[in-house]
Structure 1
């Protein structure tokens, strides 16, 4: 059985995942948590593997969670042209995202979360390897920055599975027609 590959990511209304300098300050700015949101916890229960690029990894360990690596319980794969020493749960690889995901999908395990960034996501979208897209829309228009989806050899047809709003954020879940 093939493991599910999930892209769970936040973007501005105009489709940017980061500001031009790579900053993601807009993700948390001014958001008031009125209602409990369990979408992240639900995702973490479904997955046992995370895949990300080096820039995203550096942002996680240096800015977002410098005290403790948030994915200690999962296997982590960091795609980079400058691999560091791997550990028993954290693997640095220069393997391309398509080949890595194809291999991981065939291994035993729970779902795989593609964390980011854009250079990892684009080839996976083009290869139609993402089964579920969970996009959180932040009510901000950046005007410029790092796009969620760069120019692609598309189209990739998706099916809307679920849409809801919490704390002024809009969550939309899509599935690929092949996976639904």
Structure 2
């Protein structure tokens, strides 16, 4: 995530598979120091105190968040798909890195949700590419 995106994000939401990948990072607490970080999981606790375990429906959880807050969905389809299905995504910033993560975590399972967005901007940060989509 770029520094601009970190400044714009108030809340990070991810699934347990994504958390399992990033918890391997040294000093994980410094990864997202300015945001509230939630992990959707059945676990009652996590290995990093900066991440809060959540066990509820993602749509209902997001509905409870103040509308002026910016949420970054970190990771894949399990969290993103229900939000797309319920028209709860205004913008998507998809970052592509030249890294292979085994089987990977799918971003999208449904193609219909993507039809509601248009490619607004493409940015390059070194070896990273960032695609910015906005709601039509």
Using the size of structure 2 for normalisation, the TM-score is 0.77
Are 1:133 and 2:95 counterparts?
no
- Give the RMSD, CA atoms, in angstroms: 3.0
Q: Residue 53 of structure 1 is aligned with which of 15, 23, 41?
A: 15
Q: Residue 75 of structure 1 is aligned with which of 36, 56, 65?
A: 36
Q: Give the corresponding residue for 2:109.
A: 150
* Number of residue-to-residue matches in the alignment: 133
Q: Give the corresponding residue for 2:75.
A: 116
1:78-120 deviation digits (Å, cap 9, x = unpaired): 11122317x99642111111111111144xx541111123211
Distance in 2 (alpha carbons) for counterparts of 1:175 and 1:124 = 15
Greater Rg over alpha carbons, structure:
1
Distance 1:67 1:120, change over 3 A: same
- Whose helix proportion is higher, 1 or 2? 2
Q: Is the 8 A contact 2:75 2:105 kept in 1?
A: no
Residue ranges of structure 2 left out of the alignment (5+ in a row): none
Q: Residue 26 of structure 2 is aligned with which of 61, 66, 70?
A: 66
Relative contact order (alpha carbons < 8 A, sep ≥ 6): 1 or 2 greater?
A: 1
Distance 1:83 1:156, change over 3 A: farther
